[in-house]
Amino acid sequence: MIPIKPHAYAELPQEFYNLQNWQGFNNPMLVIENTQLKEELGLENIEQQKLLSIFNGSLSIKNLKPLSMAYSGHQFGQYVEQLGDGRGLLLGEIESSKGLVDIHLKGAGKTPYSRFGDGRAVLRSVIREYLCGEAMHALSIPTSRALMIIGSDEMVLREKSETAAMLARTAKTHVRFGNFEYFHYNNKPEYVKVLADFCINNYPAYFSRTKNIYEEFFRSVVKQTAIMIAQWQASGFNHGVMNTDNMSILGETFDYGPYGFMEDYLPAYVCNHSDHQGRYAFKNQPYIGLWNCSALGHALSSLLSEEAQGEILQTYEEIFQSTLAKLFRKKLCLEQDQSEDATLIQGLLDIMESEKLDYTNTFRNLTQALTNEITPELDSDIAKSWIVSFQERQTKEVTPEDKKVISMNQVNPKFILRNYMAQEAIDAAEDSDFSKLETLIAVLTNPFEELEEHQKFANKSPAWAQDLEISCSS
């Protein structure tokens, strides 16, 4: 028995989606399977080949109602009327020990929402999505995760000709801010309500049914978004395409495109080479998160007064700031709340910026600063004086030093996904060698371990990778 069942979304009125089948590949090939996730979903008894056949559409599950979703959204600040799953498909859902989980296929062929696209995804981009989902998950950042990549011998044209591939991914939801915008801007307030009710009923862990349920709905989305973005900021993650159609209403990171983990600390970092204005620069993410929430609030205006929207949007800043402060305190092992802490944290960020220090490694090596005057990164005069303040501040902490080291190493990763690492795995995979991909997964799923045999992945990017350009094309 295959436990994938029709998605509850398929019960919504017909305007919400298009029911359809999808196009598998003629010569599908397994690129990678996520055995860990498979187990978490209780799918471990389904053989790899069988799962591949299901996702490729060659083995059908009875009564399934695969569908592509209708949505719109704001892209780079402009409203775009017709988006939708142009190459994606909600296959169904699985009841797992963690609750209901969506199963979605990306790159499954054309849909009514494909516009000028071919409905396909390329191997390069699905590998990037797979890797990042696992990396984020291991850092405890809410994210969609991939279950399998299916490769093919089909060629599609991007900036150059590339092989097509399909990604089977899981997420708690595929409802985006843009699903609400679609009905709001199409003058269908009754469907905005239907969709809000759907979310409130289907995701009870997120949405309270007390008081004004729509206010509580919006409040929760704003909260989850603020928390998610604080987590991005603390880990140096730059999403790259924070359009409202890429924002999950449950605050899960998803629709990975030209993302990047910042290497040298640079608030103005822009991972997406198509983003010429830097709208989605690292330092703008908190503000864009709020901007996106206000776009959602506007789309909910048939359910929420302007006052209520305003009041709820005002909660964003506090939730964001307090979550980020908490995360930074953990990174520096500051358990007691002291008035000088914010200055101490900012002082470190300023040094990282002016001295172009690697964000991840500077934090990771801070454990050495507990006792030494310098760490590999913090060796300038100004950095040394910062270390003295840090050590002084640490005297107010009661935790024994060995415990401090352990707890800092549990929040400051040794390994992050640097773009060059993904690129090397992609280059090999394009030559049908998937071993580098498997190795990377082993590293990224254990980012806090020392992993002696994988030291090189903790190094800064090599010179050849400094100019790696990652754009929207995928």
Catalytic residues: 245
State which of residues 143, 179, 246, 361 lies at the interface with Mg ion (CB under 5 A): 246
* 337/376 Cα distance (integer angstroms): 28
Residue whose CB is less far from Mg ion, 233 or 474:
474
DSSP β-bridge partners for residue 188 = none
Rounded CA separation 449/324 (Å): 23
For residue 117, state whether it binds ligand AMP (rule: CB under 6 A).
yes
Residue 87 makes contact with ligand AMP by CB under 6 A: yes
Residue number with CB closer to ligand AMP (86 or 347): 86
**Spatial contact of 250 and 228, defined as CB atoms under 8 Å apart:** no
Q: Which tokens sit at 111?
A: 């849909």
C-beta of 20: minimal distance to ligand AMP in Å?
Answer: 14
* 91/67 Cα distance (integer angstroms): 7
User: Nearest-CA neighbor of 471 among 273, 246, 195?
Assistant: 273
Residue 85 touches ligand AMP, criterion: CB under 6 A: yes
- Scan residues 392-411 and list those touching Mg ion (CB under 5 A): none
Minimum Å distance from CB 75 to ligand AMP?
A: 7
What does the angle CA 56 – CA 62 – CA 67 come to, to the nearest 5 degrees?
A: 60
Query: Are 365 and 341 within 8 A, CB to CB?
Result: no
**Which residues does 211 contact at the CB level (< 8 Å), separation at least 6?**
none
**Nearer residue to ligand AMP within complex by CB, 241 or 425:** 241
- The DSSP-derived string for 224-240 is HHHHHHHHHHHHTEE-S
Name which of 69 and 195 has its Cβ closer to ligand AMP. Answer: 69
Q: From the list ligand AMP, Mg ion, none, which binds 87 (C-beta under 5 to 8 Å, kind-based)? A: ligand AMP
The 257-296 site mask, x for binding ligand AMP (CB under 6 A), equals: x---------------------------------------
Does residue 474 bind Mg ion (CB under 5 A)?
Answer: no
Q: Of 332-371, which residues contact Mg ion (CB under 5 A)?
A: none
Binding part of the chain for ligand AMP, among 90-98, 116-124, 211-219, 374-382 by CB under 6 A, reads: 116-124
Which residue lies nearer to Mg ion by CB, 240 or 297? 240
Among 3, 86, 189, 347, binds ligand AMP (CB under 6 A): 86
Report what 267 binds from Mg ion, ligand AMP, none; CB cut-off 5-8 Å by kind: none
Cβ-proximal residues to 280 (8 Å cutoff; 6+ apart), any chain: 238, 239, 240, 241, 242, 270, 272, 288
* Per CB under 6 A, 120 contacts ligand AMP: yes
Beta bridge pairs of residue 95: 100
255 counts as binding Mg ion under rule CB under 5 A: yes
The span from the CA of 353 to the CA of 286, in Å, is: 19
Q: Work out which of 24, 28, 119, 289 binds ligand AMP, going by CB under 6 A.
A: 119
Binding-site partner at residue 231 among ligand AMP, Mg ion, none, CB < 5 to 8 Å by type: none
Q: Establish if 244 lies at the interface with Mg ion (CB under 5 A).
A: no
For the chain, the C-alpha Rg in angstroms (whole number) is 23
Beta-carbon contacts of residue 39 (< 8 Å; ≥ 6 apart): none
Angle at the Cα of 143 from the Cα atoms of 146 and 198, rounded to 5 degrees: 100
Summarize as ranges the residues that interact with Mg ion (CB under 5 A): 246, 255
Interface residues toward ligand AMP, by CB under 6 A: 83-88, 113-114, 117-120, 241, 246, 255, 257, 472
